[in-house]
């Protein structure tokens, strides 16, 4: 497959690029800052582009099968996540390219908590400086849900998403937070990349949110 990754030098994006390359895909990895080109995997096709820019989206997605968005704005600029998602959807609406969005866990429903979502549950509160990002991720999902042309899927990670090991194991869900027998909700970034590449290769989710955790 031909896959483009926006945020290709980021924590999640770089693992997605590595996982895709390890499976033999042709990967275009996009960074916003030319200074970060050297951070990209050497086997990826490097590009400079901003997901908020329609021309950059068009140039980086032409002829591709899937675009994976793993961008994260700087603190204080969280609304950029929404404009980037709008631009990606608008750019891909004239194509048949799928969009897989790495989103946030904030809007997932906590099991057994009467419908409370992660962002409102004291047990799962992100650090204070991540709250604005968590809210932006929730708004990002609404942007996707308003889209009816592009074949998109929005992946909400587990509540705790950190660098770790690639195990290849995970469980999938829809709108409810997946927790283990001790109530923890975790997945490594390496395994989140596995989830994304499995979805890219064997699409199961269309215009919907899904989640993954151990």
Ligand X SMILES: NC(=O)c1ccc[n+]([C@@H]2O[C@H](COP(=O)([O-])OP(=O)(O)OC[C@H]3O[C@@H](n4cnc5c(N)ncnc54)[C@H](OP(=O)(O)O)[C@@H]3O)[C@@H](O)[C@H]2O)c1
Cα 9 to Cα 36, 76, 205, distances in angstroms: 7, 20, 26
Residue with tokens 């404009």: 83
Could you say which residues in the range 174-213 bind ligand X, by CB under 6 A? none
Beta strand 152-156 pairing with 171-173: unpaired
Q: How many C-beta atoms surround the C-beta of residue 91 within 10 A?
A: 24
Query: Kind of pairing, strands 171-173 and 98-102?
Result: unpaired
* Span of 8-16, 58-66, 143-151, 164-172 interacting with ligand X by CB under 6 A: 8-16
Nearer to ligand X, 24 or 165 (CB): 165
The residue within the footprint of ligand X, chosen from 46, 91, 107, 157 (CB under 6 A), is 157
176 closest CA partner among 209, 134, 147, 137: 209
41 binds ligand X (CB under 6 A): no
**Using CB under 6 A as the criterion, what x/- string covers residues 43-82 for binding ligand X?**
-------xxx-----------------xxxxx-----x--
Instruction: State the residues that interact with ligand X by CB under 6 A.
Output: 6-7, 9-13, 32-33, 50-52, 70-74, 80, 84, 102, 104-105, 133, 137, 157, 159, 161
């Amino acid at each position: 497959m031909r896959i483009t990754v926006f945020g290709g030098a980021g924590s999640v994006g770089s693992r997605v690029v590595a996982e895709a390359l390890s499976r033999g895909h042709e990967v275009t990895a996009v960074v916003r800052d030319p200074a970060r080109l050297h951070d990209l995997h050497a086997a990826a096709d490097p590009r400079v582009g901003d997901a908020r820019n329609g021309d950059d989206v068009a140039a980086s997605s032409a002829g591709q099968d899937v675009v994976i968005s793993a961008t994260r704005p700087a603190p204080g600029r969280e609304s950029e996540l929404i404009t980037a998602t709008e631009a990606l959807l608008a750019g891909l609406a004239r194509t048949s390219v799928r969009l897989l969005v790495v989103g946030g866990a904030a809007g997932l429903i906590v099991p057994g908590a009467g419908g409370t979502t992660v962002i409102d549950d004291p047990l799962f509160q992100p650090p204070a400086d991540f709250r604005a990002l968590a809210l932006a991720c929730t708004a990002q999902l609404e942007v996707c849900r308003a889209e009816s042309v592009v074949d998109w899927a929005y992946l909400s990670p587990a509540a705790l998403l950190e660098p770790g090991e690639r195990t290849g194991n995970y469980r999938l869900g829809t709108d409810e937070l997946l927790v283990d027998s001790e109530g923890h909700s975790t997945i490594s970034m390496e395994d989140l990349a596995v989830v994304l590449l499995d979805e890219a290769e064997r699409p199961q989710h269309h215009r919907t949110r899904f989640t993954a955790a151990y």
